[in-house]
Amino acid sequence: MVSTSPKDNQTAMPFGEHASLVISKFRGALGDLMEVLPIEPGAGPTEIARQIKIDTKLAWKITHLLENHDSFEAGRFIPGMAAVRRLLKVVSIHRPPTSVMQAMRSTCEEFETMVKLHAGDRHSFDLMLAGLAQGEQQRVEMEQRKVAYTSNSFLWGVQARAQIKTAIVAPSAEPSMTDAVVINGFLDLRRIRSHIPWRITSFYSVDDHGKIRTDFDLCPLDPDSPNTDSGIETALLTDFCSDPLPVLNAVEVGGGPMEFAMAQGPLGRAVPQTLMTGALIRAAEPRFKQPGFDYSAFYMRMRTPCEVAALDVLVHRDLFDDVRYDPTLFSDLFSGQLLTHHHDCDKLSLAEKVQHLGRGLSVARMPAMPRYRDMLQFAFDRAGWDSEHFDVYRISMEYPITPTDLVLRHELPAERQG
């Protein structure tokens, strides 16, 4: 018969179970130690630090660790083991019971062993722990997204204050189809490093299986939009771009929609570029279910490090009886090509929700772009639509992960018979 020691059993434990066990033991040992020290009842971190002569930051961590009843959330307040050993040395002058001191030393060793076993280092352990903590996941993810924004800005050599995509959908003259206005762009796009090219994708449609379609009737919203040197329409919204206008060069990608490369420019915040493009597409996509189209879907390709990304969908009130957009964030590391069919295995966590802001342009204010409603009114005027008949749906993300695709889907109705 083979016997196993408690240590062997802990080695076989899943991370969450093992971490919860050790953190609970650590809190218990630390709580026993604090109870035997000369600390006044109800003392806060500042008073504790003064009364037992320890660092205020350490006292703050101790109080938060002992007060938090969720082991996974409490775990992030466990001080570094070097700090704990200094604490034991300092409080030894108060002659706490030997058993209490020994229990604290023992649980420190157990904690270090557990961290090394499952995570390798304390930083990785804290990240893994945050993934299990109910109230910590969003906070930690946002912290990491901000760090990634800074790193990716340098690595890719470009960053933007905001990325915006807006889709306006209305009934088409062809009863089974919808017309659409699509607006894409970046606010205050700036270069962090020199000689960095950056691509802007043109307009296209994609069905549920990832098949790309560009053979629709499309025209730029702005009749004054300049062409590239090779005569290809850029669809720039000239009144809503920076001055001088960004220079775009056509890039032939073969088999897909046209792409444009921004011409190289100077570095830094002193010369940011705002680049907005817009097009009106007639008979853009089906209004009712048909093979390849079970959903009305809108994609926001997030490749550019930015502080905020906002996706708006404005839907004519007569188009669908019940509109419910379901947001999903997909990793694009494995797509292979532009917007191939998304797979469930590529889904990422997404805390952000779609908001129904109301109807009409009065509800469509966007803090990132003060002239946003002016741009929408320009689009409505060009399309010949009344903005007061459109409901506004929005999802926005701070420091979005790149490269990802943000997808909003609404299930299409079956075509009415008779």
Percent of the chain with pLDDT over 70: 85
Q: Is residue 253 over pLDDT 70? A: no
- Give the CA distances from residue 384 to residues 181, 225, 287, 371, in Å, rounded to whole numbers and listed in that order: 11, 19, 19, 20
pLDDT, the chain, mean: 86
Percent of the chain with pLDDT over 90: 58
- Give the CA distances from residue 387 to residues 78, 296, 315, in Å, rounded to whole numbers and listed in that order: 55, 20, 10
pLDDT at 416: 67
The kind and range of the H/E element at 82 are helix 81-91
pLDDT at 327: 94
pLDDT at 3: 43
- Tell me the whole-structure pTM to 2 decimals: 0.76
Contact 412, 286 (CB under 8 A): yes
pLDDT at 397: 96
Q: Is residue 339 over pLDDT 60? A: no
pLDDT at 381: 97
Model pLDDT for residues 366-410, shown as the tens digit of each residue: 999 999 999 999 999 999 999 999 999 999 999 999 999 999 999
Give 193's pLDDT tier (boundaries 50, 70, 90).
Answer: confident
Domain borders along the chain are 6-135, 144-411
Task: Using CA atoms of 120, 125, 127, 128 in order, give the dihedral in degrees to the nearest 10.
Answer: 100
The predicted model gives 190-194 an average pLDDT of 83
Q: Is residue 290 over pLDDT 90? A: no
- Give the CA distances from residue 160 to residues 176, 178, 237, 367, in Å, rounded to whole numbers and listed in that order: 38, 32, 18, 15
pLDDT at 186: 94
pLDDT at 99: 95
Least confident range from 113-117, 343-347, 376-380: namely 343-347
Least confident range from 54-58, 161-165, 223-227, 390-394: namely 223-227
Give 140's pLDDT tier (boundaries 50, 70, 90).
Answer: confident
Q: Is residue 184 over pLDDT 90? A: yes
Higher per-residue confidence, 127 vs 272: 127
Model pLDDT for residues 6-47, shown as the tens digit of each residue: 455 555 689 999 999 999 999 999 999 999 999 998 899 999
